Amino acid sequence: MAIIATGYRLNVINKEIEGKDMIFRKFLYLPLSVLYFFIPSAFAQQFIALPQPVLTIAAETYILTDFQSGQVLVSKDTQKRVEPASLTKLMTAYIVFSALKQKSISLTQSLSVSENASRAQGSRMFIEPNKSVTVDELLRGVIVQSGNDACILLAEAIAGSEEKFAMIMNKEALRLGMKNTHFTNSTGLSDPEHYTTTQDLALLATAVIRNFPEYYSLYSLKEYTYNKITQTNSNRLLWLDPNVDGLKTGHTKTAGYCLVTSAKRNERRLISILMNTSSDNARTMESQRLLNYGFQFYDTVRLYQKGQEVETIPLWKGSQDAIKAGVDRDLYFSIPKNQANKLKATMEYKRPLVAPISIGQKVGIIKLVFNDRPAAEYSLVALENVDVSNILSRTWDSLRLFFN
């Protein structure tokens, strides 16, 4: 059930003069809405590490993030280069989703199975050479059955070859901010130049959920039958935790047992990723511990709603004397449970602010402080268009600015 605290008190703390520009700072005391209901957002910020209860996870590297705020709640060695194994297929599916959105392929499109795809090593969907299979069937084969043959056939259909498909994967990885990731294939088979990090995988998992909600339900399928062969999803948490609805397992001898999991409780979503655990049971239980930890020890605070007026800023040389300012997306922030009173915000904006101003134009900054430490920054943007005033009014404002 949502815990709601409405309103905030806004007081002017100080102002600083830098050259001829004034920077006004206002302090926003937050009581804010501590919620278990969220709307996905697409922003990324720099956050401080939050104080956390002690947690030890039996994995080489791991990360737990809040989907709405984008913050890391707990982690270990998130920049360490690791082998992704079949977690690679998150990117393979992401590229396929993108192709579907761009209408370069369709779910009902039939593809002829190549000899190359049918001879794929490792886990398979068991497609047969020279027979036809639809893109929809192949996607299920990738996501549920972790079929390497399905990955290769989709790669060939989209890019002409798996090698060229890997180039697309790497280009998309860079676009998503996955700076420490490189792919050489669509399947996750071991290769010295095929690597990632848990931080990068968190970016990818978030993008899958945020950008392609119409396909995300595929990750919650517990089994899929193709060619009269039924294979179960190897993500055991789909059976053990009703809140879990994705995402992907991975395993090779060198990568160990890996798992990317997402769980949603009361509309709040967390994403956990762990790499190189000792067994299937270990990755399942440790992932469950990570998720339980996040839900038990953290809340996520809704700071402001998209389009909510945060402040009215004085405006010069405009068709009106002030402009409404706020945020262009729902803003959330994750904090240790029951500590919302330690979260405060400072708003800064320059004066003079001179017209014309367009909707969405940055006019200031909202700075968060948690427990008296800098925590995050967000853009304060104009919520309306304001044109310039007539020449007489602009001249008058110019004189006022000169003498002030």
Tell me the percentage of the chain whose pLDDT exceeds 90: 67
Closest CA to 10 of 22, 2, 19, 25: 25
Is position 88 within any domain? yes
- Whether the full predicted model's pTM is greater than 0.85, yes or no, is no
Buried residues in 168-194 as b, exposed as e (16+ CB within 10 A): bbbebbeebebebbbbbbbbbbeeeeb
Of the candidates 146, 186, 272, 379, the residue annotated as catalytic is 146
Query: Which pLDDT band, with edges at 50, 70 and 90, does 393 fall under?
Result: low
- The domain tally of the chain equals 2
| Residue 86 annotated to the active site | yes
pLDDT for residue 39 = 27
What are the Cα distances from residue 363, in Å, to 192, 265, 317? 47, 36, 15
Of the candidates 33, 75, 86, 118, the residue annotated as catalytic is 86
Is position 186 within any domain? yes
- Among the candidates 196, 216, 240, a domain finishes at 196
Place of tokens 């134009």: 361
pLDDT tens readout for residues 134-193: 999 999 999 999 999 999 999 999 999 999 999 999 999 999 999 999 999 999 999 999
Is position 76 within any domain? no
Query: Which pLDDT band, with edges at 50, 70 and 90, does 342 fall under?
Result: confident
Is position 386 within any domain? yes
Torsion of CA 217, 220, 226, 230, to 10 degrees: -160
For residues 319 and 264, which has the higher predicted lDDT (pLDDT)? 264
Of the candidates 33, 69, 75, 89, the residue annotated as catalytic is 89
CATH, residue 130: 3.40.710.10
Is position 66 within any domain? no
| Residue 89 annotated to the active site | yes
| Residue 287 annotated to the active site | no
Range 235-247 average pLDDT: 97
Is position 270 within any domain? no
Which structural domain, as residue segments, surrounds residue 189? 83-196
- Among the candidates 167, 196, 225, a domain finishes at 196
For residues 403 and 132, which has the higher predicted lDDT (pLDDT)? 132
pLDDT tens readout for residues 324-340: 999 999 999 998 988 88
Q: Are 271 and 260 in contact (CB under 8 A)?
A: yes
pLDDT for residue 349 = 83
* Per-residue pLDDT at 20 exceeds 70: no
For residues 301 and 132, which has the higher predicted lDDT (pLDDT)? 132
Closest CA to 70 of 35, 46, 37, 52: 46
Is position 333 within any domain? yes
pLDDT for residue 84 = 97
pLDDT tens readout for residues 257-305: 999 999 999 889 999 999 999 999 999 999 999 999 999 999 988 889 9
Is position 116 within any domain? yes
pLDDT for residue 265 = 93
What mean pLDDT, rounded, does the chain reach? 86
CATH, residue 391: 2.60.410.10
